Amino acid sequence: MKQDQPRPTPRAGIMDIEAYVPGKSTAPAGVTKVYKLSSNENPLGPSPKAIEAAREVAAKLDVYPDGTARRLREAIAETHGLNPANIICSNGSDEILGLLAQTYLAPGDEAVFTEHAFMVYKIYIQAAGAKPVAVKETDERADVDAILAAVTPATRIVFLANPNNPTGTYVPFQEVRRLHAALPKNVLLVLDAAYAEYVRRNDYEAGIELAGSSENVVMTRTFSKLGLGGARIGWMYGSAHIVDAINRIRGPFNVNATAIEAGIAAIRDRAHIERSAAHNEKWLAWLGAELTGLGLRVTPSVGNFVLIHFPDDNRRSAAAADDYLSARGYILRRVTGYGFPNALRMSVGTEEANRGVIDALKTFLKS
Ligand SMILES: Cc1ncc(COP(=O)(O)O)c(C=O)c1O
């Protein structure tokens, strides 16, 4: 119908944003058992202590949460040896990434990220009215020299997902330091370490030291990959002046009471986190070896997922594999929007799910 009445119009640029499409969570009708491997959740589930804490808070849901999430910040600070005053908690780390963009970007500014980087950076940059600048990666890995070459006098933020989603590749910390050293001091370096708990590499650091010792670096983290995706808890660590600026626009009660209590219990349950990381280490290696054995290329991942590349024929393409696996209850993630039209991202799952996918792919590739 033709629109002839005036109506509210979004700000310039909003309708150019392509909305984020989350991983699928359902299988075709008739599939009884579903293995959701599309959102990099923890196959071991939430910490039992977090479940208990969430149950206990249920009776007190009439009361507003502490707007500063002080006890959660203290629990995080205690675990990582930080000053709680330099931490902000958020409704998932997505929220803090958005708040950073809103705080530091304006129309005319630029923000840099890499070509296969986590997609919300671009969305938040555009939402702030700034210009997204995507730079080429080398071998599906962020390239420090390419990032530096893209920095102009208009650049205000560099977003670096380390490790990145959906590739799973990481930038060794010496390289991150080199990037930071060469950036102008007025450019904010956002180190998004959503998968830090899973990384097992001696040359990797999440960014705590750099964020603690520089005025223009923050590190963002999440509880989502540790078993609390549904609770929505993220956090940022950075200088007091950044914390102060963000707190001025942060929603007054952005982290809900259930998230606060579940989060405190979860981060103190080190045994559950270690079990989750050990499970991941074992099955990440196993999946890599099995998939390679099937003749599929896998991007080397240090996260809790693998990016699987499919052959260039229609019969054995990523789309065909996705249909085949979905019909059997294995829900992987299409990553066309990330610049990988012929790949699927698979979260490391339970033993049953991992073995099931490999068995299904064996038959699929032969058929
Ligand atoms: C690299 C990266 N950063 C941030 C997030 C956001 O996680 P959340 O908002 O659940 O904390 C994700 C989620 O997939 C991610 O992959």
Instruction: Give the pLDDT confidence of 155-190 residue by residue, as tens digits.
Output: 999 999 999 999 999 999 999 999 999 999 999 999
Domain range annotation of the chain: 14-45+271-366, 48-269
Of 28-37, 324-333, 354-363, give the lowest mean pLDDT range. 28-37
Q: Rounded distance, CA 226 to CA 185, Å? A: 33
Ligand 1 mean position, distance from CA 79 (Å): 20
- 14-45+271-366 and 48-269 have identical folds: no
Sequence-distant (≥ 6) Cβ neighbours of residue 267 within 8 angstroms: 75, 76, 79, 223, 273
Is the preceding omega at residue 166 within 30 degrees of 0, hence cis? Answer: yes
Ligand 1 mean position, distance from CA 90 (Å): 12
Predicted confidence (pLDDT) at residue 98 exceeds the cutoff of 80:
yes
Query: For a substitution probing ligand 1, which of 120, 159, 220 has the most ligand atoms within 8 Å of its CB?
Result: 120
Ligand 1 mean position, distance from CA 48 (Å): 23
Predicted confidence (pLDDT) at residue 275 exceeds the cutoff of 60:
yes
User: What was the pLDDT predicted at 85?
Assistant: 98
Decide yes or no: CATH 3.40.50.1820 for domain 48-269: no
- Pocket of ligand 1 contains residue 227 by CB under 6 Å: no
Mean pLDDT of 234-242: 98
- Pocket of ligand 1 contains residue 41 by CB under 6 Å: no
Ligand 1 mean position, distance from CA 341 (Å): 21
Q: Which residues pair with 330 in a beta bridge?
A: 35
Model pLDDT for residues 306-318, shown as the tens digit of each residue: 999 999 998 999 9
pLDDT-derived band at 1 (thresholds 50, 70, 90) equals low
3-class DSSP state of 319: helix
pLDDT-derived band at 3 (thresholds 50, 70, 90) equals low
Average pLDDT of the chain to the nearest whole number:
96
The domain defined by 14-45+271-366 folds into Aspartate Aminotransferase, domain 1 (3.90.1150)
Mean pLDDT of 223-234: 97
Q: Rounded distance, CA 180 to CA 184, Å? A: 8
User: What was the pLDDT predicted at 28?
Assistant: 86
pLDDT-derived band at 217 (thresholds 50, 70, 90) equals very high
| DSSP assignment letter at 336 | G
Q: Rounded distance, CA 262 to CA 57, Å? A: 9
User: What was the pLDDT predicted at 2?
Assistant: 63
Angle at 274 between CA 273 and CA 279, to 5 degrees: 100
